[in-house]
Structure 1
Amino acid sequence: MSDIEIAQKAKMLPIIDLAKHRLGIAPEHLDPHGHYKAKLSLDYIDGLEDRPNGKLILVTAISPTPAGEGKTTTTVGLGDALNRLGKKTMICLREPALGPCFGVKGGAAGGGYAQVVPMEDINLHFTGDFHAIGVAHNLLSAMIDNHIHHGNRLNLDPRQIAWKRVIDMNDRALRDIVIGLGGTANGFAREDGFDIIAASEVMAILCLSSSLKELKERLGNILVGYTRFDNKPVFARDLNAQGAMAALLKDALRPNLVQTLENNPVFVHGGPFANIAHGCNSVVATKAALKLADYVVTEAGFGADLGAEKFIDIKCRKAGLRPDGVVLVATVRALKSHGGVPVKELQQENLQALEAGFVNLARHLDNVQQRFGLPCVVAINHFTSDTDAEIALLKRKVEEKGSKVIVCRHWAEGGKGAEDLAREVVGMADAGQSDFSFLYEERAPLWDKIKTIATQLYGAADITADIKARQQLERLSEEYSHFPVCIAKTQYSFSNDPNLKGAPSGHVLSIREVRPSHGAEFVVAVCGSMMTMPGLPKVPAAEAIDVDDNGRITGLF
């Protein structure tokens, strides 16, 4: 059966009952959205402050390939397995963006028998959080142009507006546009463009804010542009926009509670991309889960060079979190792909290609263990084409790196198929062997932070930037040097080149643009040809999605 067919056969518990019996949350603290999803009260979360924290487990992965890795599926399977072992466990995931759902990537609710449900709701409109973020973002966009139209009291330079518009769809035609056409009644004509909502700074702010008060303060700190002649920064608070934006986001800040196929509790909240944003679910959800459970399993987007690095250097730094261990997900198929095998030939045993592709896993493993000081176990998401010889080779290679390989069958068997992984994770987390550290010092110059990430994590020899990017870095360095950096680059390689598989070394990371996210409190370095508005593929996933006369959705993975 397909993922959606498995999900549609799920026997879900009413979310009110699940919250009460599994988490001890009374109905009055929940705002149900139908029978199977609900938002949790922020007041209730505030009341959890005196409870001890559970153990925090981060699930990350090797660099993505068309062969698939199954990071979200492993996160869900591990959470189910821990609960099967009697460990009170919660899972924290991000919300999927509509653009990739109708494009090429797919959803973000897991797969097979390790899924979060209701799957269709989660992968489509869910509880409306993305809509609220998009409206709040575009309200600020409208207020900027309205201010210029009505006299421009702040003397904003239309050539230096730093705030685009957003939409929750992959639409390359909107990357660069001209607005204000049609005469004086429609404002001043200027260049503009759209990003996808997952790349919005408002999304990052929502995910990094711990309260409504902090949310509003961060929204007010959004840099919208600069003044004419003297180049002074103008912020959203100068337009009095933060109050209305926070009003639109007050419910979106509340975590969404859903469940796995095995009726275990999950927070699905926030959805920043890890290749162009910080790629983690919300601080509110993670902190609440740590108070409600003994173990919390969360994921960070794409490979460990992107999601895990940002989870640690941005989210953990800002929220005061400390992971107790890491699960690094890989597949035999994906490693053979990194070793140069075409997708059509991945079913065949190929030890030579597997060993060649192992360098990608090895670098991620070294980064997690040596750069961040975290204990790590490698989870092999099992495919039926995997051979005993291939698994044996992987086990030997990983053990030489001081870690352990656990073969997992959660896609086919649910939590039962990940119990060995769960036992290993419990032992790893409870041993207290974490020597956690950040990759760079908070006060290091922005250039040095980017170079540290590139040389120590990516294997680069150096970084470079064109004149425009260098000027941006120089301009931002004095005020923003204490901010962490958020690298926006291809997820498919350690380099700028998505076709450069394995573990390339000696390359130069090129910085095209630098953007201050003053409200989110990080600086984005856009590298290579990375786009903050994706495009649809030649044959988008939307062509296979349909709904029958009874409202039953088909083709959604």
Structure 2
Amino acid sequence: MADFTSDIAIARAASKKPIMEIGARLGIPSEHLLPYGHDKAKVSAEFIAASKGGRDGKLILVTAINPTPAGEGKTTTTVGLGDGLNRIGKKAMICIREASLGPNFGIKGGAAGGGFSQVVPMEDMNLHFTGDFHAITTAHNLLAALIDNHIYWGNELNIDIRRIAWRRVMDMNDRALRAITCSLGGVANGFPRETGFDITVASEVMAILCLATDLKDLEKRLGNIIVGYRRDRSPVFARDLKADGAMTVLLRDAMQPNLVQTLENNPAFVHGGPFANIAHGCNSVVATTTALKLADYVVTEAGFGADLGAEKFFDIKCRKAGLKPDAAVIVATVRAMKMNGGVKKDDLAAENIDAVRKGCANLGRHVQNVKKFGVPVVVAINHFVSDTEAEIQAVKDYVATLGAEAILCRHWAQGSAGIEDLARKVVELAESGQAQFAPLYPDDMKLIEKIETIATEIYHAGEVIADKSVRDQLRQWEEQGYGHLPICMAKTQYSFSTDPHLRGAPTGHTVPVREVRLSAGAGFIVVITGEIMTMPGLPRTPSSEKIFINDQGQIEGLF
């Protein structure tokens, strides 16, 4: 392969095939592909409905340790594994999330893999793509507009404007909009009240789109959204405002999965994008279940570390969609082990076996946690050129003590050729019949007990602190028939605790619950802990400062 030094240079040199050809390999007729240019297309709802019979392929989850500034490469490994499975003769597909503009222009950058394990077209995927996020933002804000409009024209539903639960959203990091006052300027503008904005990926509409099975289910879930409460505390639903039909119309095309390809011309669905630190962190159920009908192996990822993404994948997505994962891959790097072991970022290039061993506690916690769900685990060591043989062996030796295997992967530099060993191990695990998947907690457990179970079993916390008002709210939702819902924890991604600076595998810490939100349409309870924000802010030096169009008309700085 050519000796490229940047992700974007590699992506620009890709030899892409027409998207119709990629679809044909999956058995999707051209009339069921709605093309967006030559290299991406949506799959029709008719084809998806017709494909629901027959057997499912094997479902493989790729998750990771807690993210560090050293980098882990979860999406890169997801893409590489999909290519690797195809390389060893398996019919495999990849299912990942769409990128949010907020972090793209903030601090995180693009989200389509890296090196020779990428999904293309990279620029499109990291910008407007096929317009799904715009549709979700618009549908969400239509409902917000209808609420204030209803109140302006007499408030027939008797909505208590002090108890409106529906905020507005935008797909950008903008801390100034976290808390605002709206409807100022006089009688003609309505009744002034306090509200705020969340980022689009935290929207319940995003979660609903990613959990709905078809347009009818989508419309029902949208109708079940609770927009606020009356003075007697009875809920007001989106369907009461007759908003569900128009919202579904706006989301009709967005419900259809987006088909693209890897650098090695293997098929990938990129659809939906809830964050894992403030939402449920998984691509759409429609994309995953459709892929399982089209391929023998489906490789999907869950956002951030396994304490967030994997837990929500298992306890929310798999529970709701009836999915049964066959194997899980936990991505780690030697560099991240050293950071968890106390090494500063500037010192990562120097060999430090003791720090690697110390930092492996974080990896070990994730391995043990995933095993609690009855899913067999393999560790992928995402290779960096600075890794030494002794450091790599230290990780392998540690993982072996957990009854699992760690496999060195060089997919960033070598593409599918560098990840064959992992692909073969994944096939071995998936075909072994070892998987005995079960969620962490039962549906009928009390809501506060579900929160405590996640905190103690996954975070290894000592206690959960929640004010009486929070506990009373949870009890009230149980009385209203929502006690069976799973929990969606909003927590920092950087630590098992709610302190982003506490690395490694802490125990006995406290999980403070600041707020709880009922997502009745999506079908879960959002539990906001610590200092987590549902509207992020931009860093001191945002990535946007380095993004521009060069003299050749190409986008620079996005990756």
TM-score (norm 1): 0.99
Please give the alpha-carbon distance, in whole angstroms, between the structure 2 residues aligned to 1:217 and 1:469.
28
Given that 2:19 and 2:39 are in contact with CA atoms closer than 8 Å, whether structure 1 keeps it comes out as yes
Q: How many residues align?
A: 554
Match of 2:310 in 1: 308
CA contact under 8 A between 2:16 and 2:263: conserved in structure 1?
yes
Match of 2:17 in 1: 13
**Equivalent AA in structure 2 for residue 7 of structure 1:** A
2:467 corresponds to 1:466? yes
**351, 354, 368: which one pairs with 1:349?**
351
Partner Cα separation in structure 2 for residue 471 and residue 347 of structure 1: 52
Per the alignment, residue 168 of structure 2 pairs with 165
Determine the C-alpha separation between the residues in 2 that align with 1:493 and 1:468.
Answer: 27
Comparing 543-552 with 283-292, greater Cα deviation is found at 543-552
Structure 1 counterpart of 2:421? 420
- 1:475 to partner: Cα distance: 2.3
CA contact (8 A) 1:133 1:249 kept: yes
1:17 positional shift: 1.4
| Whole-angstrom CA distance in 2 between matches of 1:528 and 1:84 | 44
Q: String of CA shifts for 1:513-554, please: whole Å, max 9, x gaps.
A: 000000000000000010000000111111111112442101
| 1:208-252, Cα deviation, whole Å (9 max, x unpaired) | 001000000000000000002x11100000000000000000000
| SS of equivalent to 1:480 | coil
Distance (whole Å) between structure 2 residues aligned to residue 344 and residue 269 of structure 1: 36
> Deviation at 1:472?
2.3
Distance across 1 between alignment mates of 2:397 and 2:552 = 52
Q: Secondary structure at the match of 1:36?
A: coil
Query: Within 5 A, what are the aligned runs for 1:200-211?
Result: 200-211=203-214
2:64 pairs, out of 61, 78, 82, with 61
Q: Alignment partner for residue 92 of structure 2, among 74, 89, 93? A: 89
Cα distance in 1 for partners of 2:461, 2:27 equals: 49
Give yes or no for the alignment of 1:406 onto 2:407.
yes
Partner of 2:118: 115
Alignment partners' CA distance in 1, 2:54 and 2:95: 19
Q: Which residue does 1:537 correspond to in 2?
A: 539
Q: Equivalents in 2 of 1:269, 1:356: separation in Å?
A: 38
Match of 1:141 in 2: 144
Q: Distance in 1 between matches of 2:102 and 2:8?
A: 18
Q: Distance in 2 between matches of 1:79 and 1:222?
A: 36
SS in 1 for 2:496: coil
Deviation by residue 1:163-191 (Cα, 9 ceiling, x = unmatched) = 00000000000000000001011111000
Q: How does 1:277-316 map to 2 (within 5 A)?
A: 277-316=279-318
Opposite residue 107 of structure 1, the aligned amino acid is G
Q: Distance in 2 between matches of 1:6 and 1:103?
A: 23
Pairing of 1:42-61 with structure 2 (within 5 A) = 42-61=45-64
Instruction: Show the counterpart of 2:328.
Output: 326
SS in 1 for 2:430: helix
CA offset digits 1:123-146 (Å, max 9, x no partner): 000000000000000000000000
1:493 aligns with 2:499: no
SS of the aligned residue for 1:340 comes to coil
Number of the residue aligned with 1:378: 379
Q: Please give the per-residue CA displacement for 1:466-517, whole angstroms capped at 9, x wherever unaligned.
A: 2432332232232221000000000000001000000000011110000000
Once residues 529 and 53 of structure 2 are traced to their aligned partners in structure 1, the CA distance between those partners, rounded to angstroms, is 43
State the 1:2 CA deviation. Answer: 1.6
Deviations 1:21-66 (A, max 9, x none): x212110000000000000011101111222100000000001111
Give me the whole-angstrom Cα distance separating, in 2, the residues matched to 1:257 and 1:446.
38
**Cα deviation, residue 351, structure 1:** 1.3
SS of the residue 1:501 aligns to? coil
Deviation, 1:103, is 0.5
For 1:131, the equivalent position in structure 2 comes to 134
Alpha-carbon shift at residue 373 of structure 1 (Å): 1.1
- Provide the C-alpha distance between the structure 2 equivalents of 1:422 and 1:137, rounded to a whole number of angstroms: 40
Greater Cα offset, 40-49 or 92-101:
40-49
Look up the match of 1:24.
27
Residues of 2 paired with 1:4 and 1:175: CA distance? 34
Q: Structure 1 unaligned runs (5+)?
A: none
Paired with 2:131 and 2:533, the residues of 1 have a C-alpha distance of: 25
Identity of aligned residues (%): 65
The 1-side partners of 2:12 and 2:177 are apart by: 35
CA contact (8 A) 1:472 1:513 kept: no
TM-score w.r.t. the length of structure 2 is 0.98
Backbone CA RMSD of aligned residues: 0.8
Match of 2:493, as an amino acid? Q
The alignment partner of 2:213 has SS state of coil
Provide the C-alpha distance between the structure 2 equivalents of 1:91 and 1:40, rounded to a whole number of angstroms: 15
Q: Is residue 448–residue 471 contact of structure 2 (8 Å, CA) maintained in 1?
A: no
Q: Bigger CA drift: 113-122 or 458-467?
A: 458-467
Three-state SS of the structure 2 residue aligned to 1:289 is helix
Structure 2 CA distance for aligned equivalents of residues 555 and 507 of structure 1: 40
CA deviation map 1:348-394 (0-9, x unaligned):
1111111111110000000111x111100000000011111111111
Determine the C-alpha separation between the residues in 2 that align with 1:453 and 1:24. Answer: 41
Query: 1:481 corresponds to which letter in structure 2?
Result: G
Instruction: Decide whether the 8 Å contact of 1:468 with 1:513 is kept in 2.
Output: no
Worse overlay, 542-551 or 54-63: 542-551
Unaligned runs of 5+ in 2: none
